[in-house]
Amino acid sequence: MRFAIFGDIHGNLEALEVVLAECETCEIENYLCLGDIVGYGANPEECVNRIRGLGALAVCGNHDHAVVGAQNLSYFNAHARDAVIWTAKQLSQESKNWLKGLSLVEHLPDFSIVHGSLHSPELFNYVQTIKDADYNFRQMDRPLLFLGHSHYPLAFFDTSPMTYTLDPIIPLDPSVKTVVNAGSVGQPRDEDPRACFVIFDSEAELVELRRVEYDIDAAAQKILDAGLPQTLALRLTLGK
């Protein structure tokens, strides 16, 4: 089965639409969303509706939590906090109710998905180092975990010693636990501004990180036109 796995859309409709258009050419059978559908970008309602329309299995991100009042805003920096407050005003009650209903973790037969970390998922910790990955390996009862949150695509392997890769093509060994960060659709932070997502082929036991170009200028201008912090528009161009 072929899965499209993506997250950290952050209200960036231009990036999301390009990713979904790419998926239509890839024989995708299931869509999975790793959370943070909203926050930062200027089209939160449209992005929520798009994910709902796909019938995607989704987990809740920290920005999703925040806009429905389930996350303390002191957790966020000033620009992110401003975006959360603005976003909450743009969302319909129906969209808020849907976000409220999302789980922090979802388990499928052969893998799991979470926004931040399988270790205390309610804390939305980042998985950026071997040590961070180790906490997740200890919690995993399946060989594969997909997550986001850091906006930085890479994979960790529970080998001895533990290893990681930045390669876009990741062959899987079912005997080795693997944590894959799918990067970010709407606000990449690895100095590559292209939208990022994952295709997972369970039969081929292969993960592929895909990058696609989108209209960054249009998405950035929407942020400015909405009166959101200028920094949020600039980050799209810089990819960090």
Look at residue 224 in the predicted model and tell me its pLDDT. Answer: 97
Angstrom distance (rounded) from CA 31 to CA 108: 13
pLDDT above 90 (res 145):
yes
Angstrom distance (rounded) from CA 157 to CA 189: 22
Q: State mean pLDDT over 101-119.
A: 96
Q: At what angle do helices 78-90 and 44-54 cross, to 10 degrees?
A: 70
SS3 state at 121: helix
Angstrom distance (rounded) from CA 91 to CA 101: 15
Per cent of the chain over pLDDT 90 is 95
Report which of 207, 205, 203, 197 is spatially closest to residue 32, judged by C-alpha positions.
197
Q: Which domains does the chain have, with CATH numbers?
A: 2-238 (3.60.21.10)
Computed over its alpha carbons, how large is the radius of gyration of the chain? 17
pLDDT digits (tens, 9 = 90+) for 202-213: 999 999 999 999
pLDDT above 90 (res 240):
no
Q: What is the mean pLDDT of the chain?
A: 96
pLDDT digits (tens, 9 = 90+) for 55-82: 999 999 999 999 998 888 888 889 999 9
Look at residue 219 in the predicted model and tell me its pLDDT. Answer: 98
Encoded tokens for 47: 């992005």
SS3 state at 223: helix
Look at residue 74 in the predicted model and tell me its pLDDT. Answer: 82
Per cent of the chain over pLDDT 70 is 100
pTM score over 0.85: yes
